[in-house]
Structure 1
């Protein structure tokens, strides 16, 4: 296979109700691309178990899963992860607790919350969440991957600027206007996909800022979020339309 199609989950492949956007047209399109020799790769901020669920439920036959925005990779059933530096993570956690923001913590396999999420938040297919009053011991003893920070846009931007200006081993990246992820520095969807497939033609589909690193390293990229994105090669409303365009371009080659 000389071509790789990477695509995000939330807002790209699935909607807020965990339904496939474009329905059967999308699934048939993905199968068509596989038949044409494409390797399919899911790249998401979700944990790996949700990729497993989607892969199995929809018979996608995906062998490479990039989760937690590039920090965790499952390639042919071998798992690897880029962890947060524990000392920096403890100091960041102390800082985040002073802010009027929702703070969540991810390990390789679980999410940790101080209290339950808003019912309107996107739900995991498999609930790996745990309620903990304090995350300090988890950071010390567990394989910690990232912080997810949720709140008002202006406060999120303030935290992002502070983290990126004051810490050397992590990087803060917005995943939406009201959410921010803090991961090990150098971790991104684009970086890991290019490392996994250095000699392949990479085509990507995504809908938010955490997909831009992938767009920059792709031969062709498709933005399916709100409005237009100058970082993408093409702007489409939905993934099924992007897939149809990819198939059309292949036929014209």
Structure 2
């Protein structure tokens, strides 16, 4: 029987060196060879996810299903875009103004391009981590207003303590306009209301006709919670946030200990009783 496997990238498939180990790649290759559906679900840009596939998982080319931007940009196994959902122009501009008020780094994504009005260390480090280049502009608001493409996501970067405070203020102001979540301790994502990794899975379940409850779902962060909650087979990494471990059925070794590969190996011999670490 064919199954569906859903993987987050950062903190899950990717280790602390932003690499996918040979052991983990081998485990995913085994899934593909057996004909199981594989979905990669990330807050990353589509271009960034494609780079990771080409570099570490080339055998998944023209096979893997991709959910980028936390579910706002969905691409099927043939490379067809099945969903591109962005933020309303007025709402995006309001959010940029809000982040300017708090003097934190902010950037946007339009047409799968990373765009910043600040040429600071944050954008340089982010671009390097994401394996993409960035476009520097004078005014993000002007770019949003003049673009023919939707703003897929807005991201703020600052120190974790400041970010928690910023998130609280953002939720008060934008709770009806954005889905606001942390993808890292220092990253705050602003995505369209109604967009999430879990909602993306629901869309793919209709396209590929699979039962959400029977998916094998792997994650580690706040933005993974709603897709983990969908499945009866939910796996939190050993490095996951406490709230993620609490809702997952199984807790694995960390991303630096090949936790995903460990789980897949157990699944293939149906040794579920010994999955938890």
Q: Does the alignment reach a TM-score above 0.5?
A: yes
Hey, what does 1:243 align to over in structure 2? 264
Q: Displacement of 1:42 after TM fit?
A: 0.6
Contact 2:153 2:189 in 1 (8 A): yes
**1:85 equivalent in alignment to 2:101:** no
**1:165 equivalent in alignment to 2:166:** no
Give 4+ residue runs of structure 1 displaced > 6 Å after superposition. Answer: none
Q: CA deviation digits over 1:98-128, x for unaligned, max 9?
A: 1132111112311112114446545233x24
Give, in whole Å, the separation in 2 of the partners of 1:36 and 1:146: 35
TM, length-normalised to structure 1:
0.89
Give, in whole Å, the separation in 1 of the partners of 2:36 and 2:272: 14
Contact 2:11 2:239 in 1 (8 A): no
Hey, what does 2:129 align to over in structure 1? 123
Hey, what does 1:184 align to over in structure 2? 192
Hey, what does 1:134 align to over in structure 2? 139
Q: How many positions carry a matched residue from both structures? A: 249
Q: CA deviation digits over 1:187-245, x for unaligned, max 9?
A: 11111112211433311111211111110112311111526511111111222222223
**1:153 equivalent in alignment to 2:160:** yes
Q: Displacement of 1:133 after TM fit?
A: 2.8
Give, in whole Å, the separation in 2 of the partners of 1:124 and 1:233: 30
Q: Displacement of 1:251 after TM fit?
A: 9.2
Q: Structure 2: which 5+ runs fail to align?
A: none
Q: Displacement of 1:147 after TM fit?
A: 1.0
Change (3 A) 1:175 1:251: closer
Give, in whole Å, the separation in 2 of the partners of 1:48 and 1:131: 19
Q: Structure 1: which 5+ runs fail to align?
A: none
**1:109 equivalent in alignment to 2:112:** yes
Q: Pairwise CA RMSD of aligned residues? A: 2.2
Change (3 A) 1:225 1:89: farther
